[in-house]
Amino acid sequence: MTQQVAVIGGDARYLELIRQLQALPEMTISLIGFDKLEQGFTGLNQIDLADLDQGTLDAVILPITGSNQEGYVETVFSDQTVQLTDDWFEGLGDNTVVFTGISNDYLDKACEKANVKLIPLLNRDDVAIYNSIPTAEGMIMMAIEHTDYTIHSSRVIVVGFGRVGNTVANKFAALGAKVSVCAKSIMDLARITELGHTAIPFDQLHEHTRDCDLLINTVPAQVVTKDAIQHLPPHGIIFDLASKPGGTDFDYAKQRGIKAILAKSLPGIVAPKTAGKILADVIKQFLL
């Protein structure tokens, strides 16, 4: 039985995702928001949202960013404005699955009201762990680009020991950096020590930043505060990997003359092909 899938918007990662889905048997794929793509996809329907019969769809794939609070989605490869209203969602079939990278109140409520299943892919452990690899590689690239000293022997503090923080800490340590990791739980602090890093309890971060060249935040809450930033040496740089707006007091960093960079969506920038395959592999599990 042929499955009907609509890909609505998306960035460079989605080109590989579409190729992966296109290789599946019994799959009809409609693309919305790809009309400016220089190289089109042979055999796929590139149509406008108004021409899509959403009632026949088995799956809808939204961009990594999902939508904003008015239902507008990001279309990197189109100048068209695409808005998914409450009424549009209610036109979906009861068995339709909606995939997004991250969700928000608008998407949650629209899908709940329409009685369709919403799957935020970046909330999944498997996706987040696989994505942490291109994120860490992108972080290394940025560290090299923005410094005039080697990663080897540099003093790095990673804030947060979740799926991204763990990988970032290990990759920097493998390059010879002196890595400290700031975490909350006793279990995480023990694991950090076991891995050979220096463990810093959250409430003591500000006591360690004076000996820091690179401060890398992975926590999506404001944890890199004025207290932590004021002790950084003048050459210190903050890289914030947390989702927008990040977890850093950027205003105070600017006031102090400390370079602070919100480095979001690194997998899509440094390794879109790999990142697209990661997403496709998970979506395929549901579709098959």
pTM score, two decimals? 0.89
Distance (Å, whole) CA 74 – CA 11 = 8
* Phi, psi dihedral angles at 57 (to 5 degrees): -80, 140
Q: What is the mean pLDDT of the chain?
A: 95
Q: What value does the CA radius of gyration of the chain take, rounded to a whole number of Å?
A: 21
Find where tokens 């021409």 sit. Answer: 51
Give residue-wise pLDDT tens across range 9-30.
Answer: 999 999 999 999 999 988 999 9
Residues whose CB is less than 8 angstroms from the CB of residue 283 and which lie 6 or more positions away in sequence, other chains included: 17, 21, 59, 61, 99, 121
Q: Residue 159: is its pLDDT beyond 70?
A: yes
Give residue-wise pLDDT tens across range 47-91.
Answer: 999 999 999 999 999 999 999 999 999 999 999 899 999 999 999
| Sheet containing 155-159: order of strands | 198-201, 178-183, 155-159, 214-217, 237-240, 259-262
